[in-house]
Amino acid sequence: MTPRYSIFSLLRNAASYHEDWPEAWRSPEPKPSYEVVIVGGGGHGLATAYYLAKEHGVTDVAVIERGWLGGGNTGRNTTIVRSNYLWDESAQLYEHALKLWEGLSQDLNYNVMFSQRGVMNLAHNQHDLRELNRRISANRLNGVDSEFLTPARIKAFCPIIDLRAQGRYPVLGASLQRRGGTARHDAVAWGYARAADARGVDIIQECPVEGFDISNGKIQAVRTGKGRIEARKVGIVVAGHSSVLAGQAGFRLPVQSLPLQALVSEPVKPVLDTVVMSNAVHAYISQSDKGELVIGAGVDPYVGYGQRGGIAVTEETLAAICELFPMFRRMRMLRLWGGIVDVCPDASPILSKTPVEGLYINCGWGTGGFKATPGSGHVFAHTIARDAPHPLNAPFKLDRFHSGFLIDEHGAAAVAH
Ligand SMILES: Cc1cc2nc3c(=O)[nH]c(=O)nc-3n(C[C@H](O)[C@H](O)[C@H](O)COP(=O)(O)OP(=O)(O)OC[C@H]3O[C@@H](n4cnc5c(N)ncnc54)[C@H](O)[C@@H]3O)c2cc1C
């Protein structure tokens, strides 16, 4: 694709204080019917719409978002991208996503600021060490880059980390995925929205889906704040609210909705050029391009829909960060927020047909679905277009909770993102 903006239009727009900037996507009123309706305008929903149009030629598509694009977890997450999951099924799904990340800015002609700065997972005890080494071996067998770092190599890779023996959580080693890193979350939503719109997808914001019309076990329409919209097929992609929407469609999901928090510090000069994660102390950290330290915590231990979390969780997280990085002790925190994550019993997602014909669900990514955004959208679009799973998401069916074929990723997911 050729760039939409020349240097002259950039100068003209700068001089006009952005007033004349064209809209990046249209804001149409919904049509009475579509071939496919995607409920949820986060990264996964928008990516699904984009790949439906691009890969399957299905362009009679609407994305229905109750708020604004990326206002859910897509715009609230700490943007860590990696694919070093334990089991074959997950490693292959997340690696598919990582490969798409590597060409995403070019594909969308939109800079999603994907930065492969490496993701390090720390081991603080013998159990962590064994688990990391097992996962490194499994990753390599799946073609996922993963290596072990001794404490000396950790220090060389990330000099500001404190490895002194008197630390409460001694660092005994780490795994490193060099191809992992971060991306700009809003840009991912905006890039997919612009590219989907350009292929004819209608993006409809401030339009909550309030129910489904189902007849003879088959989806007929969605009922929304802007009226009834008929659809031959509907995909539910509403992280954090999946059980609510599934309930409206008459089936139950095995997910818990939990608050998950993150916070950022005041901006400082570049000091940290990788992502450091610790499952054992429930903390992880990176530095944004603006200079803020981006710090993530674990989930709160209770179910809820308030987009905030308990202060005790934040205090524990900051204590761990200060222990690993004593130089951050005097930094001030600027903002704290939360999102609601849907967690499955096996810490793996659901990308599946449902008991309702023509209704599909993509949910249960828990604390770590941002990294999967391109891959999730890609295989979910296939599932909807073909009415059959893509080989990569076939193991992530809803009926695995009946059959017992669970994909237990608690070790790789855990607090980690
Ligand atoms: C604090 C935090 C940190 C995280 N950190 C990471 C990380 O570092 N790496 C990582 O991989 N993952 C991370 N995650 C998880 C990640 O954010 C999510 O898994 C992912 O963004 C889910 O994307 P989505 O598009 O499915 O959901 P969302 O972006 O939440 O989109 C769902 C959309 O559905 C809409 N919706 C809900 N109900 C309705 C309705 N009735 N009608 C219409 N629309 C509706 C919502 O408004 C929302 O916009 C984190 C999450 C949080 C909260």
C-alpha of residue 240 to centroid of ligand 1, in Å? 7
Is 56 a domain residue? yes
Is 202 a domain residue? yes
Is 82 a domain residue? yes
Last-in-domain residue among 318, 341, 364: 341
C-alpha of residue 307 to centroid of ligand 1, in Å? 11
106 and 196 share a domain?
A: yes
pLDDT value at residue 21: 78
Question: In CATH, what number is assigned to the domain containing residue 77?
Answer: 3.50.50.60
278 and 360 share a domain?
A: no
Is 2 a domain residue? no
Last-in-domain residue among 279, 309, 341: 341
Is 296 a domain residue? yes
pLDDT value at residue 12: 74
Q: Which residues approach ligand 1 with their CB closer than 6 A?
A: 39-45, 64-67, 71-74, 76-80, 208-209, 237-241, 245, 260-262, 296, 339, 341, 365, 367-371, 417
SS (H, E, C) the chain: CCCCCCHHHHHHHHHCCCCCCCCCCCCCCCCCEEEEEEECCCHHHHHHHHHHHHHHCCCCEEEECCCCCCCCHHHCCCCEECCCCCCHHHHHHHHHHHHHHHCHHHHHCCCCCCECCCEEEEECCHHHHHHHHHHHHHHHHCCCCCEEECHHHHHHHCCCCCCCCCCCCCCCEEEEECCCEECCHHHHHHHHHHHHHHCCCEEECCCCEEEEEEECCEEEEEEECCEEEEEEEEEECCCCCHHHHHHHHCCCCCCEEEEEEEEEECCCCCCCCCEEEECCCCEEEEECCCCCEEEEEEECCCCCCCCCCCHHHHHHHHHHHHHHCHHHCCCCEEEEEEEEEEECCCCCCEEEECCCECEEEEECEHHHCHHHHHHHHHHHHHHHHHCCCCCCCHHHCCCHHHHCCCCCCHHHHCCCC
Q: What's the pTM? A: 0.95
- Residue to mutate, 190, 192, 362, 370, ligand 1, most ligand atoms under 8 Å from C-beta: 370
Which domain does 223 fall in, by range? 31-110+184-255+346-413
Total domains in the fold of the chain? 2
- Give me the tens of pLDDT residue by residue for the chain, a chain 417 residues long: 445 557 777 777 777 777 777 899 999 999 999 999 999 999 999 999 999 999 999 999 999 999 999 999 999 999 999 999 999 999 999 999 999 999 999 999 999 999 999 999 999 999 999 999 999 999 999 999 999 999 999 999 999 999 886 667 899 999 999 999 999 999 999 999 999 999 999 999 999 999 999 999 999 999 999 999 999 999 999 999 999 999 999 999 999 999 999 999 999 999 999 999 998 888 899 999 999 999 999 888 889 888 888 889 999 999 999 999 999 999 999 999 999 999 999 999 999 999 999 999 999 999 999 999 999 999 999 999 999 999 999 999 999 999 999 999 988 876 545
Last-in-domain residue among 341, 369, 389: 341
